[in-house]
């Protein structure tokens, strides 16, 4: 049975309804928890307040109680539940709208028993079943911080939109009587201090089980720790808010867990969705010793082959990773990956270190439950912002692709490069799509023909070779390419992106007169111009197999367009030459928005083997001064429409975000940096009309 079937709406809504009715009828009331924390009559010292602030981050208070664009801890964050929408409350010390009138005893009761100052039961969206484990000392420090270290904010709480009868809070008394253990954490004397510290954090303030532990018939966590008959369920993986939180008892999920929690990424994966917020607001603030303690505790829970949580299980050895070139260029899923994913995650699925996560060996992709992977593809996501990685990168949403296309692509990435995970069907994509609200594609978005359509053409072998030459130019034609660029460096996604010099309708424009050449040129001449200039190399033999294949691909991409047809998205767009560039601002913009991919000094970005994954923008391995992109305003138009990638979540590349002026500033900066000469420049524009922004 699919894991989400455990929470079919009819099944658990009826059960919870019974609980609520019974609770309302019997009126169970839990006695308040005893408090032996420090007295409240003494103003806490600075160390206690600092410790409380640390604990507030550890408990992820900021993520849940800070609305986007709102004041810290002032509440108003909507939380979607099957019962309706809950809004987080104001927990600043404002006396009228916040918790400023709470005594320590009332605060402790709210944290351990889920009862507010007025005696109302709190919905367990606040994880008080976990917070109950917090020690008296830490509760006092947290209280001290919220009362004396947080700025009061007058902001009334939003009214929850919970459907009747679930809005009857009295029923929660029975729920708590059945499921809540409000006793603080009890150390295990047979374990080390490190182990106990990790258990205390994960079971208590960290409340990891809230997402990673499956729920029972009353939507309670099936286990609050690893002990007891249900202990096997603790942190074993669960579905929450249309995301799948994977098992934390799997050795693959625990590789590099300390780095993942501290920085939002490790060598295998990057945080996305809910976990990106946890990394940003919470775990990046943890001390190294606490992260290590958590690692020690989690590794003690790893399930061995016999099913018991003692010791670690040997991992299944996957075949050596290699680029699945056969499937990559011969299947609809592989070609879909080439068109929509490879620009960031690379043809070999290894991603780009410190920028885009790998897909080869990625634990999220290898999960038996594809929910999170499909969710992030449909709705997009942003990487966690941490001290180590202060720049957020966005994963564009691909909700505009059909269920069949997405199933083909997801199945490909789950089975390529040594990955071994079950295929995903179009029906499964459709079911997940119906459970979430995908972010719609941006108005006016555009993409060229689907590369997978090449497989239906009788000349597919030649066309596919031409397509590969476009995206692997410097690898397949090393004698003709003199720098680190490929055709797809400018013609993004193999020439399918609007205003990135797309190939759609292009071949119909040739032969045509070129003012730069001073004569009529054909398509092969135009292609060779790129080899000589943008790739600073040598021309192809016009009768060669490679040239024929590239022309065949461009003819296929042309579609049904004719010479005088209006072609949406043609070229790179235009930028007014009246805009005067500011080189100083351009340098700042470059370092802020471009350097992460192209290097701080324009040197490009290489992988571990020294191969370029993103091209240099100046220097000996970049395009020469004869290239069209070397002209300031041509470059500015390209940058305006296509850079930086992963800035937003619109398809196809999340590109854009700069103003016209910013695009001119940054383009003037990088186009005027040192680059190779073009000896034949003296032959250009023999009849005049040289552009004003030409470098020569």
At 360-408, the pLDDT tens digits run: 999 999 999 999 999 999 999 999 999 999 999 999 999 999 999 999 9
At 189-220, the pLDDT tens digits run: 999 999 999 999 999 999 999 999 999 988 89
Mean pLDDT of 541-556: 98
At residue 390, φ and ψ (nearest 5 deg) are -75, -15
- Confidence (pLDDT) at 34: 57
- Confidence (pLDDT) at 324: 52
Mean pLDDT of 436-445: 66
Give whole-number Cα distances, 149 to 98, 156, 364, 407, 585, in Å: 14, 20, 38, 50, 38
Average pLDDT of the chain, as a whole number = 89
Taken in order of first residue, the domains within the chain and their CATH numbers are: 3-184 (no CATH), 325-435 (1.10.760.10), 451-558 (1.10.760.10), 583-683 (1.10.760.10)
Mean pLDDT of 466-478: 97
DSSP state of 80: E
pTM of the model as a whole: 0.88
- Confidence (pLDDT) at 22: 42
At 227-236, the pLDDT tens digits run: 999 999 999 9
Strands 243-245 and 381-382: unpaired
At 583-593, the pLDDT tens digits run: 999 999 999 99
- Confidence (pLDDT) at 1: 34
At 26-72, the pLDDT tens digits run: 444 455 555 554 445 567 899 999 999 999 999 999 999 999 899 99
Rounded distance between C-alpha atoms, residue 636 and residue 122, angstroms: 55
Confidence bin at 442 (pLDDT 50/70/90): low
Count CA within 13 A, CB hemisphere, residue 134. Answer: 32
pLDDT at position 470 over 70: yes
Rounded distance between C-alpha atoms, residue 522 and residue 506, angstroms: 11
- Confidence (pLDDT) at 80: 75
- Confidence (pLDDT) at 448: 81
Contact between residue 81 and residue 118 where contact means Cβ atoms under 8 Å apart = no
Confidence bin at 618 (pLDDT 50/70/90): very high
pLDDT at position 6 over 80: no
- Confidence (pLDDT) at 160: 84
Residue 54: which of 110, 137, 132 has the closest Cα?
A: 137
């Amino acid at each position: 049975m699919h894991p989400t079937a455990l929470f079919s709406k009819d099944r658990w809504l009826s059960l919870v309804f019974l609980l609520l009715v019974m609770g309302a009828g019997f009126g169970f009331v839990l006695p308040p928890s005893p408090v032996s924390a420090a007295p409240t009559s003494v103003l806490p010292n600075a160390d206690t307040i600092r410790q409380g602030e640390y604990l507030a981050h550890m408990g992820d208070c900021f993520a849940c109680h800070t609305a986007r664009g709102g004041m810290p801890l002032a509440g108003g964050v909507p939380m979607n539940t099957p019962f309706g929408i809950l809004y987080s409350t104001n927990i600043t010390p404002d006396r009228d709208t916040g918790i400023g009138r709470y005594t320590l005893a009332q605060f402790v009761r709210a944290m351990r028993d889920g009862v507010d100052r007025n005696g109302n039961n709190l919905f367990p969206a606040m994880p008080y079943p976990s917070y109950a484990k917090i020690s008296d000392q830490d509760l006092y420090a947290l209280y001290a911080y919220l009362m004396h270290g947080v700025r009061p904010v007058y902001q009334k709480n939003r009214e929850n939109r919970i459907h009747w009868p679930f809005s009857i809070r009295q029923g929660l008394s029975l729920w708590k009587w059945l499921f809540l253990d409000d006793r603080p954490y009890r150390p295990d004397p047979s374990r080390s201090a490190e182990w106990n510290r990790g258990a205390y954090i994960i079971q208590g303030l960290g409340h990891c089980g809230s997402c990673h532990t499956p729920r029972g018939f009353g939507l309670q966590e099936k286990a609050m720790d690893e002990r007891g008959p249900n202990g096997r369920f603790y942190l074993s993986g669960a579905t929450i808010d249309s995301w799948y939180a994977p098992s934390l008892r799997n050795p693959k999920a625990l590789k590099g867990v300390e780095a993942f929690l501290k920085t939002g990424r490790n060598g295998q994966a990057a945080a996305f969705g809910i976990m990106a917020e946890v990394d940003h607001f919470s775990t990046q603030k943890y001390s190294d010793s606490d992260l290590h303690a958590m690692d020690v505790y989690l590794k003690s829970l790893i399930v061995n082959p016999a099913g018991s949580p003692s010791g670690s299980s040997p991992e299944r050895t996957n075949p050596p990773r290699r680029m699945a070139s056969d499937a990559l260029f011969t299947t609809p899923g592989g070609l879909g990956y080439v068109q929509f994913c490879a620009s960031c995650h690379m043809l070999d699925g290894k991603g780009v270190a410190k920028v885009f996560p790998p897909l080869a060996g990625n634990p999220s992709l290898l999960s038996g439950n594809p929910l999170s992977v499909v969710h992030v593809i449909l709705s997009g996501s942003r990487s966690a912002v941490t001290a180590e990685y202060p720049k957020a990168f966005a994963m564009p949403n691909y909700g505009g692709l059909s269920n069949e296309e997405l199933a083909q692509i997801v199945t490909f990435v789950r089975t390529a490069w040594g990955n071994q995970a079950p295929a995903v069907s179009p029906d499964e994509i459709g079911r997940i799509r119906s459970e979430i609200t995908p972010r719609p594609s941006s108005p006016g978005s555009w993409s060229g023909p689907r590369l997978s359509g090449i497989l239906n053409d009788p000349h597919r072998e030649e066309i596919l070779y031409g397509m590969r030459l476009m995206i692997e130019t410097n690898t397949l034609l090393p004698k003709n390419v003199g720098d680190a660029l490929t055709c797809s460096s400018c013609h993004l996604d193999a020439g399918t992106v609007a205003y990135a010099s797309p190939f759609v309708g292009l071949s119909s424009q040739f032969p045509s007169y070129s003012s730069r050449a001073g004569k009529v040129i054909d398509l092969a001449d135009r292609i060779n111009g790129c080899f000589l200039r943008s790739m600073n190399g040598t021309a192809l033999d016009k009768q060669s197999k490679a040239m024929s294949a590239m022309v065949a691909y461009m003819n296929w991409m042309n579609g049904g367009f004719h010479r005088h047809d209006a072609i949406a998205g043609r070229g790179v767009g235009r930028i007014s030459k009246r805009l005067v560039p500011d080189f100083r601002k351009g340098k700042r913009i470059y370092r802020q928005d471009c350097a992460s991919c192209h290097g701080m000094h324009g040197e490009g970005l290489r992988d571990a083997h020294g191969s370029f994954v993103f091209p240099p923008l100046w220097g000996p391995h970049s395009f020469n001064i004869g290239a069209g992109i070397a002209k300031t305003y041509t470059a500015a138009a390209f940058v305006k429409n296509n850079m930086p990638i992963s800035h937003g979540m619109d398809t196809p590349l999340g590109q854009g975000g700069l103003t016209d002026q910013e695009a001119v500033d940054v383009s003037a900066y990088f186009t005027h940096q040192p680059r190779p000469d073009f000896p034949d420049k003296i032959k250009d524009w023999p009849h005049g009309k040289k552009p004003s922004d030409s470098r020569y």
